[in-house]
């Protein structure tokens, strides 16, 4: 009969000592898990995904360099996707000739010279002209960021009228 209390004490000890060790191991594995690194994501040049998302607002795109990735997912995730994913589209695209002027000169939007709020991820830096004359309009952002089928976009568009370039940094929330 005395073997039972010793077994119970041993189980209690293993439970008390084992749970913190498992928690520390889990936290260490989470901290060491690779996070998404936009600098290691392949620069895309396909136009169709961009044209379908915001082409109706900026016009025809003739060239693009951009990144698209889920900002909540680590690079090695192989799990069921979250019901709410946030996809970041960031890059620069060339508009058809005269496209930049057509957008900027629309008085409804009141474009004004403005520096973009943040740097683009490193792989995209080589596609931006150093002396670009960016213009921005919060009214145009509101117009172009209308809810789309299953997605709620947010972000900013900057236009270089002389070069017919659009610089975009957008997040699409899919719910």
Give the DSSP H/E element, type plus range, for residue 89: strand 85-95
Q: What is the reported pLDDT for 154? A: 94
pTM listed for this prediction: 0.72
Q: Predicted confidence band at 10 (pLDDT cuts at 50, 70, 90)? A: confident
CA–CA separation, 34 vs 41, rounded Å?
13
DSSP state of 80: P
Considering only the C-alpha atoms of the chain, give the largest distance between any 2 of them, rounded to a whole number of Å: 92
Q: Predicted confidence band at 150 (pLDDT cuts at 50, 70, 90)? A: confident
> What DSSP string describes 8-65?
HHHHHHHHHHHHHHHHHHHHHHHHHSPPP-GGGSPPB---HHHHHHHHHHH--EEEEE
Token reading at 87: 């996809």
DSSP state of 72: T
Q: What is the pLDDT of residues 14-67, one digit of tens each?
A: 667 666 766 666 666 555 555 555 556 789 999 999 999 999 999 999 999 999
Token reading at 154: 């947010």
Which of 3-7, 51-55, 111-115 comes out lowest in average pLDDT? 3-7
Confirm if 50 and 66 have CB atoms less than 8 A apart.
yes
Q: What is the pLDDT of residues 125-138, one digit of tens each?
A: 899 998 999 999 99
Q: For a pLDDT cut of 90, what percent of the chain falls above it?
A: 50
Contacts of 159 (CB under 8 A, 6+ apart): 100, 103, 104, 111, 134, 135, 136, 165, 166, 167
CA–CA separation, 152 vs 145, rounded Å?
7
User: Which is more confidently placed, 80 or 99?
Assistant: 99
Q: What is the overall mean pLDDT for the chain?
A: 83
């Amino acid at each position: 009969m005395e073997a039972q209390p010793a077994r119970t004490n041993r189980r209690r000890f293993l439970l008390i000592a084992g749970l913190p060790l498992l928690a520390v191991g889990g936290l260490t594995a989470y901290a060491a898990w690779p996070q998404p690194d936009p600098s290691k994501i392949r620069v895309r040049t396909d136009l169709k995904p961009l044209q379908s998302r915001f082409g109706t607002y900026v016009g025809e795109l003739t060239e693009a360099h951009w990144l698209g990735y889920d900002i909540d997912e680590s690079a090695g995730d192989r799990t069921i996707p979250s019901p709410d994913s946030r996809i970041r589209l960031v890059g620069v695209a060339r508009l058809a000739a005269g496209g930049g002027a057509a957008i900027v000169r629309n008085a409804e939007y009141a474009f004004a010279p403005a520096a973009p709020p943040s740097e683009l991820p490193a792989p995209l830096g080589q596609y931006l002209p150093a002396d670009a004359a960016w213009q921005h309009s919060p009214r145009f952002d509101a117009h172009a960021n209308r809810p789309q089928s299953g997605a709620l976009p947010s972000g900013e568009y900057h236009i270089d009228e002389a070069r017919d370039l659009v610089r975009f940094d957008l997040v699409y929330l899919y719910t």
